[in-house]
A and B are shown apart, each in its own frame.
Chain A
């Protein structure tokens, strides 16, 4: 049974944990670098990307996780987690860092502020329609050639990718963990 960590520094950790527990995996909350030992994969939850980025530094998790991702460790980032995994952050703070693990450029709050949050079904390659919850969601504005687009959504200004994968690294602009549909998580854990 794979061991999957959920980065538990800030954000919707509990929702990811309970969704993963429904699937056939052992779930570990990650708050310290040593919690990464023996993990097969990890989820970076939605939350505030600046807060999670700050706490990745103070907790000492950042360099350990960076090394593991480079070595082929599987990660799924939702919302803020996608921002952290991306290669370029638009509309963020000029000093905001990212793991550069996924060759995409994302715009923070690309779909608008809190008040512009919305729900929309999302058609995902291989699994069909899943409910998409977009809360101050990042918008993927550029995708590298090695990035596989698993779902796109047109929210009135043309289709943008909302679920992408580049080898071991997955990014999702919406929050599958806030619904009762675990198929996006299943797709990720099936790849392990």
Chain B
């Protein structure tokens, strides 16, 4: 059951073992972490099945892998490899600038990113069964993750305060399927779990986004680009469990060494969060 916890980006079986030993609930198998993708440029694609298989063989926890937005053939390959979840991810170079993958055609569950409620509901309408707020991957800067989470939450509150007649126009504004808009208005939450990704690089970042309503966190570059990945991984796992207990978060934050260097998002050449439609 994927409820709560930390999903860690790993690029080889050794990192996958470290993630599992540190209490990760799942690993994301990819060839380069987002900060390296950002640095290297070029086209970022699905990982080599060989490395995905090696990571699957090295851990007992679920293994996720990324497909490019709209690249359903990559997703078919990942499903054939028996990955546990597919992330249709803006971190990779999009393959289709209009359409996302029709996820109803697959049996493997999909996770998709969103910057706002309309985007989240469009992905759910296409069959996503987990949503992660996008943040800005590879920056080590939590500001965009906070923006996206707060936006999604604020838009859900707005739906809850609307009367039934207003929901039609709100669905139009959100560009989201009306039945899903009506469901959110009635329940006050997404019909699927809401996780958080993009820029989380310290235990305090994890505690922040969990208190803002995320149920779990994806940590990409934040662990294996830090000074002491093992300690950082364990600290973020503990902070995610005890996110409301500042004494625990303070203890695990103490003497961690340097977090990943990070980037100011206003100076970025490429904003990954803008990929997806």
Using a CB–CB cutoff of 8 Å, the interface residues on chain A facing chain B are 9-15, 31, 45-48, 50-51, 54-55, 58-59, 79-80, 91-93, 96, 108-109, 113-115, 135-136, 175, 178
- Please state if B60 and A10 are interface contacts (CB–CB under 8 Å): no
Which of B17-25, B42-50, B224-232 is the interface stretch? B17-25
- Please state if B241 and A31 are interface contacts (CB–CB under 8 Å): yes
A114–B108 Cα distance when bound, in Å, is 7
CB contacts (< 8 Å) of B23 on chain A: these are 10, 50-51, 54-55, 58
A93–B61 Cα distance when bound, in Å, is 10
A108–B23 Cα distance when bound, in Å, is 16
- Please state if A48 and B26 are interface contacts (CB–CB under 8 Å): yes
CB contacts (< 8 Å) of B62 on chain A: these are 48, 113-114, 136
Contact with B108, one of A55, A91, A115 (Cβ below 8 angstroms): A115
Q: Digit string of B81-99 for contact with A (CB within 8 Å is 1, else 0)?
A: 0101100000000000000
- Please state if B3 and A50 are interface contacts (CB–CB under 8 Å): no
Contact with B242, one of A13, A31, A54, A135 (Cβ below 8 angstroms): A31
Is there a chain A Cβ closer than 8 Å to B165's Cβ? no
CB contacts (< 8 Å) of B33 on chain A: these are none
- Please state if B25 and A115 are interface contacts (CB–CB under 8 Å): no
Given known pairs A93-B60, A175-B1, the reply for A48 and B25 (CB within 8 Å) is yes
The CB with the most chain B CB atoms within 10 A, among A13, A48, A92, is that of A48
Given known pairs A10-B4, A11-B3, the reply for A55 and B241 (CB within 8 Å) is yes
- Please state if A51 and B24 are interface contacts (CB–CB under 8 Å): yes
A59–B84 Cα distance when bound, in Å, is 29
CB contacts (< 8 Å) of A93 on chain B: these are 20, 60
- Please state if A51 and B5 are interface contacts (CB–CB under 8 Å): yes
Given known pairs A113-B82, A115-B79, the reply for A135 and B1 (CB within 8 Å) is yes
Q: Interface SS of chain B: helix, strand, loop or mixed?
A: loop
CB contacts (< 8 Å) of A92 on chain B: these are 60
A179–B23 Cα distance when bound, in Å, is 27
- Please state if B82 and A108 are interface contacts (CB–CB under 8 Å): no
A46–B24 Cα distance when bound, in Å, is 15
9 additional A-B pairs beyond A48-B2, A108-B60, beta carbons within 8 Å, are A10-B23, A47-B4, A50-B20, A51-B5, A51-B24, A58-B23, A59-B242, A96-B60, A114-B109
CB contacts (< 8 Å) of A58 on chain B: these are 23, 234, 238
Is there a chain A Cβ closer than 8 Å to B204's Cβ? no
Nearest first, the 8 A-B pairs at minimum CB distance are: A114-B84, A54-B23, A46-B1, A48-B25, A12-B3, A51-B23, A10-B5, A12-B1
Contact with A11, one of B4, B61, B245 (Cβ below 8 angstroms): B4
CB contacts (< 8 Å) of A55 on chain B: these are 23, 237-238, 241
CB contacts (< 8 Å) of B85 on chain A: these are 114
Is there a chain A Cβ closer than 8 Å to B107's Cβ? yes
A1 to chain B, nearest CB (A): 26
Given known pairs A9-B241, A93-B60, A108-B60, the reply for A47 and B82 (CB within 8 Å) is no
CB contacts (< 8 Å) of A136 on chain B: these are 62, 84
- Please state if A80 and B108 are interface contacts (CB–CB under 8 Å): no
Given known pairs A55-B23, A135-B1, the reply for A50 and B241 (CB within 8 Å) is no
The CB with the most chain B CB atoms within 10 A, among A31, A45, A59, A114, is that of A114
A31–B242 Cα distance when bound, in Å, is 8
CB contacts (< 8 Å) of A135 on chain B: these are 1
A31–B243 Cα distance when bound, in Å, is 11
Residue of B nearest to A116 (CB): B82
A100 to chain B, nearest CB (A): 19
Given known pairs A9-B241, A12-B3, A58-B238, the reply for A50 and B61 (CB within 8 Å) is yes
